[in-house]
């Protein structure tokens, strides 16, 4: 794997990843990419994501697991057994952060909850990730990204008005929760270095999904009108959406008066600049559907890429609608290294999504392949028993 001469920012921090599936593992992988020693504590059967997805790899682990668990070590422990629990306590003494995503109440029954662990390690930052939080009327419900999107309001503004419910195409609640949990735990870790006291962090998919509603709820609190689906358009400005050209759709945004005037000139439609229905942003929003129908008459004369090139040259934001393969394999995705290949003892070369943030002074490194189940049992146990000898 890649060699790093400058210490990574989180080098020396130990994180116990006692989580499965997505939000917790993804958050812990971000920490591992930045140098943290992340020990993935798995039940003897392994993280259930190891066997997820509808296709087989060479080995037992899914491509999804391989994309959320690089740079970690794997330790299998039966936390329901006395022996497994006692070793976890020894491990917790050496840790800075614990991330778990059991349903509220489960860690208390296993006696690995925050109140128990902080007696062993007062500086521990203990992150609990759940569907709906550690308290409240929905706290004990099982929660996945779909439920969080539906019950947070996200699905109420996704898709087109009057049509079937649509969820966001990517797991916004899972990934959002991973990011917010990471923000919280790093803040708490910094605080613990000053005070000597850690804390319990309550992160939920529900809260995280709701946090994305800034524009929608600002609109609701200001007008009293509940937000509704807008398709690809935007409640702040128009035209700002996908529009249809001769060969298909592209996206564009003329979000202010200057850009609107440029667009009208580009379309050779001077009649639209001061049109009574489109003269201001407010009027264009009010009459969005008629506006889009009108400008698409002009867009229909040329192909989408031609329009994108022409609009960019004129200083109007625009872009093509790409598939994921097109985005990852295109010239910009390639330049940004958003697909990388890492070595794996069973799979050989395996593709991973690249680092989403570039640390230019201390670049993230792939130091370890996504671990095989229990791959580091002996190594980690030897470390812990050596410390307690």
Could you read off the pLDDT of 106-140 as tens digits, one per residue? 999 999 999 999 999 999 999 999 999 999 999 99
Q: Are residues 260 and 299 in the same domain?
A: yes
Q: Are residues 178 and 64 in the same domain?
A: yes
Considering the domain boundaries, does residue 290 fall inside one? yes
Considering the domain boundaries, does residue 81 fall inside one? yes
**Which one of 273, 293, 322 terminates a domain?**
322
157-166 residue pLDDT tens: 999 999 999 9
The neighbour count for residue 246, using CB atoms within 10 Å, is 12
Evaluate whether 70 touches 29 at the Cβ level (below 8 Å): yes
208-265 residue pLDDT tens: 999 999 999 999 999 999 999 999 999 899 999 999 999 999 999 999 999 999 999 9
Considering the domain boundaries, does residue 329 fall inside one? no
- The CB-side HSE value for 48 (13 A sphere, CA atoms) comes to 7
Task: Indicate which CATH number applies to the domain containing 89.
Answer: 3.40.50.10540
What's the pLDDT score for residue 325? 97
Considering the domain boundaries, does residue 178 fall inside one? yes
Q: Are residues 207 and 310 in the same domain?
A: no
Q: Helices 304-313 and 257-266 sit at what angle, rounded to 10 degrees?
A: 130
The count of domains in the chain is 2
Confidence of residue 1 (pLDDT cuts 50, 70, 90): low
Catalytic residue, from 96, 145, 174, 207: name it: 174
Residues contacting residue 366 through CB under 8 Å, at least 6 positions apart:
1, 2, 33, 70, 71, 340, 342, 352
**Which one of 275, 291, 322 terminates a domain?**
322
Q: Are residues 47 and 141 in the same domain?
A: yes
As beta bridge partners, residue 18 has 100
Helix (H) or strand (E) holding 283: helix 281-286
Q: Are residues 354 and 260 in the same domain?
A: no
Three-state SS for 343?
A: strand
174 noted as active-site residue: yes
Buried b (16+ CB within 10 A) or exposed e, 163-182: eeeebbeebbbbbbbbbbbb
| CA nearest to 118, candidates 107, 133, 129, 103 | 107
The boundaries of the domain holding residue 262 are 240-322
The arithmetic mean of pLDDT across residues 188-206, rounded, is 97
Distance, in Å, from the CA atom of 112 to the CA atom of 86, rounded to the nearest integer, reads 10
For the entire predicted model, the pTM comes to 0.94
Q: Are residues 196 and 247 in the same domain?
A: no
Q: Are residues 198 and 249 in the same domain?
A: no
Considering the domain boundaries, does residue 205 fall inside one? yes
Distance, in Å, from the CA atom of 32 to the CA atom of 72, rounded to the nearest integer, reads 7
Q: Are residues 178 and 303 in the same domain?
A: no
Considering the domain boundaries, does residue 330 fall inside one? no
Confidence of residue 4 (pLDDT cuts 50, 70, 90): low
Task: Indicate which CATH number applies to the domain containing 287.
Answer: 3.30.1540.10
Confidence of residue 332 (pLDDT cuts 50, 70, 90): very high
Distance, in Å, from the CA atom of 215 to the CA atom of 228, rounded to the nearest integer, reads 12
The arithmetic mean of pLDDT across residues 316-339, rounded, is 98
3-state helix, strand, coil in the chain (%, to 5): 40, 15, 45
276-327 residue pLDDT tens: 999 999 999 999 999 999 999 999 999 999 999 999 999 999 999 999 999 9
What's the pLDDT score for residue 54? 87
Q: Are residues 307 and 366 in the same domain?
A: no
Evaluate whether 324 touches 67 at the Cβ level (below 8 Å): no
Confidence of residue 6 (pLDDT cuts 50, 70, 90): confident
41-72 residue pLDDT tens: 999 999 999 999 889 999 999 999 999 999 99
Three-state SS for 201?
A: strand
Considering the domain boundaries, does residue 226 fall inside one? no
Instruction: Kindly report the average pLDDT of the chain as a whole number.
Output: 96
Considering the domain boundaries, does residue 348 fall inside one? yes
Q: Tell me whether residue 121 is exposed, middle or buried, using C-beta atoms within 10 angstroms of its C-beta: 0 to 12, 13 to 18, 19 or more.
A: middle
Q: Are residues 357 and 317 in the same domain?
A: no
Alpha helices in 34-113 (DSSP H): 63-66, 82-93, 106-110
Q: Are residues 202 and 121 in the same domain?
A: yes
**Which one of 291, 322, 353 terminates a domain?**
322
Residue by residue, what is the 3-state secondary structure of 242-255?
Answer: EEECCCCEEEEECC
| CA nearest to 353, candidates 59, 52, 54, 29 | 29
Q: Are residues 316 and 344 in the same domain?
A: no
Percent above pLDDT 70 for the chain:
99
């Amino acid at each position: 794997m890649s060699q790093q001469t400058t210490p990574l920012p989180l080098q020396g921090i130990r994180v116990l990843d006692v989580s499965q599936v997505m939000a917790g593992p993804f958050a812990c992988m971000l920490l591992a990419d930045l140098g943290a020693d992340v020990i993935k504590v798995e039940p003897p059967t392994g993280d259930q994501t190891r066997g997820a997805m509808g296709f087989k790899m060479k080995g037992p682990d899914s491509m999804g697991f391989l994309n959320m668990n690089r740079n970690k070590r794997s330790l299998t422990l039966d936390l329901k057994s006395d022996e497994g629990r006692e070793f976890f306590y020894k491990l917790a003494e050496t840790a800075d952060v614990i991330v778990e995503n059991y349903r509220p109440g489960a860690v208390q029954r296993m006696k690995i909850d925050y109140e128990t662990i902080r007696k062993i390690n007062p500086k521990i930052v203990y992150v609990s990730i759940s569907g709906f939080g550690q308290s409240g009327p929905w706290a004990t419900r099982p929660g996945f990204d779909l439920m969080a999107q539906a019950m947070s309001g996200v699905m109420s503004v996704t898709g087109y008005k009057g049509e079937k419910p649509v969820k966001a195409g990517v797991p916004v609640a899972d990934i959002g929760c991973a990011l917010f949990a990471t923000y919280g735990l790093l803040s708490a870790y910094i605080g613990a270095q000053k005070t000597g006291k850690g804390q319990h962090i309550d992160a939920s998919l529900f809260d995280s999904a709701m946090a994305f509603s800034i524009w929608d709820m600002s609109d609701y609190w200001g007008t009293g009108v509940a937000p509704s689906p807008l398709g690809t358009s935007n409640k702040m400005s128009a035209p700002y959406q996908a529009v249809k050209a001769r060969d298909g759709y592209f996206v564009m945004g003329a979000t202010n008066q200057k850009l609107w005037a440029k667009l009208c000139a580009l379309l050779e439609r001077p009649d639209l600049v001061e049109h009574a229905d489109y003269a201001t942003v407010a009027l264009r929003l009010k009459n969005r559907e008629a506006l889009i129908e009108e400008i698409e008459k002009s867009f229909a004369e040329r192909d989408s890429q031609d329009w994108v090139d022409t609009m960019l040259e004129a200083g109007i934001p625009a872009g093509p609608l790409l598939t994921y393969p097109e985005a990852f394999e295109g010239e910009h995705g390639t330049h940004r290294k958003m697909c990388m290949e890492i070595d794996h003892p069973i799979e050989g070369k395996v593709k991973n999504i690249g680092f989403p943030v570039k640390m230019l002074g201390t670049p993230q490194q792939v130091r370890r392949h996504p671990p095989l189940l229990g791959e580091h049992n002996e190594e980690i146990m030897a470390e812990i028993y050596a410390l307690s000898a």
